[in-house]
Amino acid sequence: MGEMLEAWAGVLDRSWAEIAALSADARNFDRLRVNRIADVWDNNTFPFVGAACARGAGRRENLALQGVRWMADFGATRHAWVLEQAVAAGHPIELPPPMKHPNGPVRDGEGTATPGTMDLTAETIEELAADYAFDTAEVRTLCVQRSEGVLVGEVTIAASRRYQADGGDLAELRIQFEGVDQLRFEQSDRCGVSFDCQAGTTLLRLGDRGVVQGASGTVSNRDVRWSRSKAGRTADAVLPPLQRAKVWEPERGLLEGTACEAAELLRWAMIMVRSSWALSLIHTTPVHEYALAFAGAGTDILAAGRSFRREAAFRRLVNRWRSAGGELLLPLFDQTLKTDPALPDADDPPEPDSQLMVADYTTPSFFDRTNASTFVFASPGTPWGRRRIRVENPQQFAVRVEAFGTTLCAAQQGGLLAVS
């Protein structure tokens, strides 16, 4: 078996193993990391199974080389993750450097200058303040959650433009924070924002009393009319013309019969795991059960692909997945290739000793019409489970960073969180 194909299978096995570890106990559930892992396999499941089923060792390895390179070529973070997972699986590999993604303005597919994502610095804020009125801006969304041992946050603000633009809509800016150590927010105090960016800290003041502070931050300008702004016109003058390069995609092996069914089941399982990102599904998606049912899928697919009786081998594998999934995952197996699998009914409310994992406040915006507030908790049990409190069209929402370090009961009594 080729080195790259073995490594690819190992990365898939590692993916399911990590998802299983992250979902075994709700106190360790990492919504962001689970989503990133599952997202890798959306467009890579069929290429992997196709490579495993190709005829001839040389053909299999060539398809694997193309497939792993393509899977890893989505920025430096994805590239490093693939290499790390291959090493952890016992199959270290070498890949070309990742495609570079510039920090800051770029041209889109139509050649129009777009703002991209920038690090939050004093210079960045000064540039943004020239185009947007922060003193009258309002908070559209706020989400703070646990990820990889720290709190991370995201705030979307809507601000009036200082430049001439058609229409009366507001421009939206999305600010992301790493290492949040200060948080104080109330729905009734969300108008007017200001920034303070210094070495080692990024602070966003919200209204009169609110604040979000992290060790670092970035800003994504979502202003659909940005090309008319001062910064947009400056970028348009200096950015090179759009170079239309042919998009390279890996060659895919032919899949037929039960091998194709296995690939579709595996892809759908990852999509369902990724659906736990949605706050409407985070407490009902059986992430851990999916991870247990598909554990070792990479190794098993390699074995089935090289079997002389391939159709029978894949049929046994699909039946084993079905048996391992039990009644809870039957919708996936019964409805895949037809409709979206159904999910279990909503869980019970969180217990008083529950621990806060996610706090989310969302109002209607240009991109999303949701108007709801959500708290997600790790709730005691064997094992601990995910529970949530969600209020549509809330009249009150408040959260402080201390709520993440205590129980639901203590947080409510201490005024650290509230929603109604």
56 and 125 inside one domain: no
pLDDT of residue 367: 58
In the structure, what pLDDT confidence band is assigned to residue 341 with cuts at 50, 70 and 90? Answer: very low
Residue 216 lies in a domain: yes
Residue 161 lies in a domain: yes
Q: d(Cα 409, Cα 417) in Å, to the nearest integer?
A: 10
Asked if the model's pLDDT at residue 90 lies above 90, the reply is yes
Asked if the model's pLDDT at residue 203 lies above 80, the reply is yes
Residue 346 lies in a domain: no
Residue 206 lies in a domain: yes
How confident is the model over 374-400, as pLDDT tens digits? 999 999 988 899 999 999 999 999 999
Residue 267 lies in a domain: yes
328 and 365 inside one domain: no
Domain count, the chain: 3
Phi, psi of 179 (to 5 degrees): 65, 55
pLDDT of residue 2: 64
Q: d(Cα 14, Cα 20) in Å, to the nearest integer?
A: 10
Cα separations in angstroms, 229 against 58, 102, 136, 158 = 54, 20, 18, 16
The number of residues in the chain equals 420
Q: d(Cα 251, Cα 202) in Å, to the nearest integer?
A: 44
The arrangement of strands across the sheet holding 117-119 comes to 117-119, 216-221, 171-178, 150-161, 132-147, 355-362, 372-379, 385-392
DSSP 8-class letter at 163 = S
Q: d(Cα 172, Cα 193) in Å, to the nearest integer?
A: 13
In the structure, what pLDDT confidence band is assigned to residue 346 with cuts at 50, 70 and 90? Answer: low
- For the ranges 164-168, 196-200, 227-231, 258-262, the lowest mean pLDDT is seen at 164-168
- For the ranges 223-237, 280-294, 340-354, 390-404, the lowest mean pLDDT is seen at 340-354
CB 216 within 8 A of CB 202: yes
pLDDT of residue 245: 64
Asked if the model's pLDDT at residue 169 lies above 70, the reply is yes
Asked if the model's pLDDT at residue 18 lies above 70, the reply is yes
- For the ranges 140-144, 240-244, 271-275, the lowest mean pLDDT is seen at 240-244
pLDDT of residue 339: 44
- Range of the structural domain that residue 164 is part of: 116-222
How confident is the model over 104-113, as pLDDT tens digits? 788 777 788 8
In the structure, what pLDDT confidence band is assigned to residue 93 with cuts at 50, 70 and 90? Answer: very high
pLDDT of residue 108: 77
Strand partners, 418: 398
pLDDT of residue 365: 63
In the structure, what pLDDT confidence band is assigned to residue 164 with cuts at 50, 70 and 90? Answer: confident
How confident is the model over 295-322, as pLDDT tens digits? 999 999 999 998 889 899 999 999 999 8
7 and 55 inside one domain: yes
89 and 127 inside one domain: no
39 and 123 inside one domain: no
Residue 248 lies in a domain: no
User: Global pTM?
Assistant: 0.90
DSSP 51-92: HHH-SSHHHHHHHHHHHHHHHH-S-HHHHHHHHHHHHHTT--
And the tokens for 75? 């920025």
CB 221 within 8 A of CB 106: no
122 and 211 inside one domain: yes
pLDDT of residue 368: 64
Q: d(Cα 372, Cα 364) in Å, to the nearest integer?
A: 9
In the structure, what pLDDT confidence band is assigned to residue 366 with cuts at 50, 70 and 90? Answer: low
Percent of the chain at pLDDT exceeding 70? 94
89 and 129 inside one domain: no
Residue 238 lies in a domain: no
122 and 198 inside one domain: yes
DSSP 17-59: HHHHHHHSSGGG--HHHHHHHHHHTTTTHHHHHHHHH-SSHHH
Average pLDDT, whole number, for the chain? 89
pLDDT of residue 347: 56
* Per-residue b or e along 158-173, where b marks 16 or more CB atoms closer than 10 Å to that residue's CB: bbebebebeeeebbbb
pLDDT of residue 402: 97
**Higher per-residue confidence, 341 vs 294:** 294
Cα separations in angstroms, 297 against 2, 17, 53, 303, 332 = 18, 10, 14, 10, 16
Collapsing DSSP states into helix, strand and coil, what is residue 411? helix
91 and 139 inside one domain: no
Asked if the model's pLDDT at residue 330 lies above 60, the reply is yes
CB 418 within 8 A of CB 412: yes
pLDDT of residue 157: 97
**Average pLDDT rounded to a whole number, residues 337-341:** 46
**Average pLDDT rounded to a whole number, residues 123-149:** 95
pLDDT of residue 301: 97
Phi, psi of 290 (to 5 degrees): -60, -45
Count CA atoms within 13 Å of residue 20 on its CB side. Answer: 14
And the tokens for 411? 């947080």
160 and 216 inside one domain: yes
